[in-house]
Chain A
Amino acid sequence: MSYLEYNVKYSPTGLAKVLYVNWALVVLLTAVASVGFLMLYSVAGGNIERWAEPQMERFVLGLVVMFFVAFVPLWFWRSMAGLAYAVSVLLLLGVEFFGSIGMGAQRWLEIGPIRLQPSEMTKISVIMVMAAYYDWLDVRRTSHPVWVLLAVLIIVVPAFLVLRQPDLGTALLIMGGGGLVMFCAGVSLWYFGGVIAAGGGLVAVVMSSRGTDWQLLRDYQFRRIDSFLDPTLDPLGAGYHINQAMIALGSGGWSGRGFMQGTQSRLNFLPEKHTDFIFTTLAEEFGFIGAVSLLVLYLGVLAACVIAAMQSKNRFASLLILGIAGNFFLYFAVNMSMVMGLAPVVGVPLPLVSYGGSAMLMIMIGFGLVQSACVHRPRERT
């Protein structure tokens, strides 16, 4: 930005910031979260205290945090990016050595009364640091192999630590989020094409090795792949959850079985019905119409973000918004694919709808950053 521009544009300050909050985004997020409250009320069998009420409290807290983050100038967040990343990696290392075990994986770090889930925080900090990295980097060097390799390292180190916990879903989201920022920053498409081709080639080689002398996976691992590809092969074992989820989803039909009338969730056939599989309950009770409506709300959130990113002339701001929006997309895309049997069950919640505080808070902080970018966007004087 040239000196001249500082004269003709300004950023809002003080209470005026409230006027420049992206209110459309706030409404959309609240709408999505409300779908969550409704479904949590339903899967608890009409009990509001069990899941819906705590979820509402968390959302309100999330909104407060979001506004707080939004009113802090964006340059502050940009300068915090490196620190946030370093703290995330240190905390992940802390989990590696001192973490407590829950649900068969090491995810939590307990510091006194506070329970931290550093992998959640890492999702945001990786996006922040990548946006700052490409903002700092000379644009001409964006596709230079050395700088690409450095970017990949920044992403892979925390992702690897998360994978060790093990938490495949979060590790994929971290890599996806970071990768999306690289994509938006303009890293040559050849790299992405290369990665996709290499991945596809690896899958092809592994699958074609089956039954030969140089078989690359053990038989039981192949059988797991089989049961992912066709869950009906093992209806009581590994495929049970996904089968029940698909039954719930399919039985919803056009308009669903009615609010609180979903037998699959009410009778506990659905696994994790209040967390990862909550979308199936929505699809069961409100049918195709309900499921597509939620999808449209999600796409609305994405559209709001993409528009905001395009309006912003600030490289850091645009990359940050696109990274957070992309992360949000990965959340619901992976979750929905999973419950529809299109992707393996990797444990990714439905953003803002699934019950859970940590993920909700991080998502709201992410949108706080988006709001901060919107609020502090230099504007023409009028």
Chain B
Amino acid sequence: MRIFDPHIHMTSRTTDDYQAMYAAGVRAVVEPAFWLGQPRTHPASFFDYFDALLGWEPFRAAQYGIAHHCTIALNPKEAGDPRCLPVLDELPRYLVKDGVVAVGEIGYDSMTPAEDTALATQLQLAADHELPALVHTPHRDKAAGLTRTLDLVRESSLPIERVLIDHLNETTVDAATDSGCWRGFSIYPDTKMDPARMVALLRSHGTERVLVNSAADWGRSDPLTPRQVGEAMLAAGFTEDEVDLVLWRNPVEFYGLSGRLDLSVAEPLSGTHEGNSILRGGE
């Protein structure tokens, strides 16, 4: 089972996690730029962090045979802090980097005017740089947040087919499906979505344009939940090919929209998959 986790915050995970992920079949990850726990108060804090997403973290991942790419953005939470807004001006020089496969995570946290501006600005940056966008739906007032998000995407010049809307659940999946966006689901141990519910959603809403991630970060989360979803799918009667579509080919296709996916670092799986041809990224 080859796995591409399309949303995981490796900065907050130990090297033991990389080992366990590799053993579970993870061969590629995308790490979205996000908050660190302790709020940042200077733009320079972001730049060192972005540099880490383009330097140290891909290096750490490569030590374990995992290809690491990132998304870059001013995240929803810190977009509300005026001290952090100058970060938006520096984004263009990051968005041209080889290792950046999308603008993200962007979206709403508390639904403020400042967040409106940051979201609109960054959707435009994605369009300008021919990158897709990773959009986070808020944890509070989620359905309303999704509606407002979709409105802003439609107002932007970024086509909805190049937008991944993440952290979806039963109350938001229909609106997301109708919009034509890519649909992201985050599987946490206790809260949000779990493997059984995910399998039910795959049954009712299909496997096309679906991405499953662990969104593992500082909180109680588990980088191995995508594997659990794969196993739950097989147990529920989905085929190996369907599992591979959801856990590998869909993330490759979505992030391949950037034209920058380079999976050559990813070590081939032992056993059933041989050779490097399966690891070539989408263009």
The answer to whether A and B belong to the same complex is no
Chain B residues at the A interface, C-beta cutoff of 8 Å: none
